[in-house]
Amino acid sequence: MSITMKHARLIVLALCASFAAAAAANAAAGKAKKVQHHHWHFAGPFGTFDQYALQRGFQVYEALCSNCHGVELLSFRNLGQKGGPFYLDQCPAGVPESVDCSNPNENPVVKAIAANYRFQVTDGPDEFGEMFQRPALPSDRIPGPFANEQIARLANNNALPPDLSLITKARHHGPDYLYSLLVGYEDAPSTVEVAPGLYYNPYFPGDMSQNLKPEYVDEKGYAQEGVEVPLGGVLAMAPPLADGMIEYADGSPQTVEQYAADVTEFLMWAAEPKMEARKSLGFVTIIYLVILAGLLYWSYRKIWSDAH
Ligand code: HEC
């Protein structure tokens, strides 16, 4: 069957209609503010992590975020792997020579972090069949704050704080989104109501038309003419950062922006600890392919040079 002009026109019309419907649905679902673009060390084909930023980011995670969020895919020893926040290529002074500090299980900083971590590890059963708590070892997964989802929800207004191990990969524009979410909390606009235990954030995807005060809504429940539905949404996480909350030993600014950038860099590393190795392998591969292409071209010219 051939597609006539009429058919084609119908198809185009149907497509336009479905796009329009999708656009309307999108508008109704509300929009979040465009994420802020931050300058990251790790962006681009040659980007690498800044080890000091990773250390500060882990500090922020441990001091604040770990109250509610786990990073259950990370073990303590990952922190001491090459490229990780506490990797050592040689031992600090005072460590016996027999210790290989580049081995994450022997790295003294990682051992101390595991042993003094704010949560202990549940192990067992012991000889009486009981589970028990013990200080963590580098080989243990980093323990999270809650024993199970139900307790996590009870503590958080029935919302579940997601595990943060892969969060930067699980959101569009992951690092920029995370940074924007953390620095972007604002007072809710006067046209909306926010229930207790929830917080307005213009970067959180949501639908603020549901929160408009009754005087701004028409009888069908839509925003009245001229009333703008605020961007963003409400979430059950109170703004976790405030200036001066955490003391940095290296003199970096103790601001919400700095904390947010550092913890984002740490979580980006957590989601892709092998990023640097991947990028350098990619670079070497490209160089190899360029040389190979040159060689092939040269041999092609050589082999066919007599064949007129
Ligand atoms: C007091 C508990 C608490 C603390 C502290 C906390 N969060 Fe949350 N967080 C939550 C809860 C609860 C949610 C789920 C919110 C929801 O879905 O309504 C959440 C959600 C998130 C999300 C997911 C947002 C999305 O797009 O779905 C990210 C990312 C996040 N938190 C990062 C952090 C970081 C980084 C820190 C530390 C700087 C932190 N949180 C500290 C409770 C907390």
Closest residue by CA, ligand 1 atom 1: 68
235 lines ligand 1 (CB under 6 A): yes
Query: What's the rounded Cα separation, in Å, for the pair 151 and 216?
Result: 38
- pLDDT for the residue numbered 7: 72
User: What is the Å distance from ligand 1's center to 160 Cα?
Assistant: 9
Closest residue by CA, ligand 1 atom 39: 65
152 lines ligand 1 (CB under 6 A): no
pTM of the model: 0.86
- Pocket probe mutation, ligand 1, options 58, 69, 165, 180, max atoms within 8 Å of Cβ: 69
114 lines ligand 1 (CB under 6 A): no
Q: Which atom of ligand 1 is nearest to the CA of 259?
A: 38
- pLDDT for the residue numbered 1: 46
175 lines ligand 1 (CB under 6 A): no
Angstrom CA distances, 172 to 72, 116, 215, 304, stand at 21, 35, 35, 51
User: What is the Å distance from ligand 1's center to 177 Cα?
Assistant: 13
**Cα angle, residue 75 at apex, residues 242 and 251 outer, rounded to 5°:** 35
The residue among 226 and 238 whose pLDDT is bigger is: 238
**Cα angle, residue 100 at apex, residues 95 and 106 outer, rounded to 5°:** 80
Return the SS3 of 23: helix
Cβ atoms 109, 86 nearer than 8 A: yes
Percentage of residues in the chain having pLDDT higher than 90: 79
Helix crossing, 256-271 with 51-63: angle to 10°? 100
Angstrom CA distances, 181 to 94, 166, 240, stand at 43, 16, 10
Torsion of CA 95, 98, 102, 106, to 10 degrees: -80
Per-residue pLDDT at 268 exceeds 80: yes
* Mean pLDDT of all residues belonging to the chain: 91
159 lines ligand 1 (CB under 6 A): yes
The residue among 299 and 11 whose pLDDT is bigger is: 299
- pLDDT for the residue numbered 17: 64
**Token duo for residue 209:** 């038309």
User: What is the Å distance from ligand 1's center to 240 Cα?
Assistant: 8
Confidence category of residue 27, pLDDT binned at 50, 70, 90: very low
Closest residue by CA, ligand 1 atom 3: 68
Tell me the average pLDDT across 250-264. 97
Closest residue by CA, ligand 1 atom 14: 161
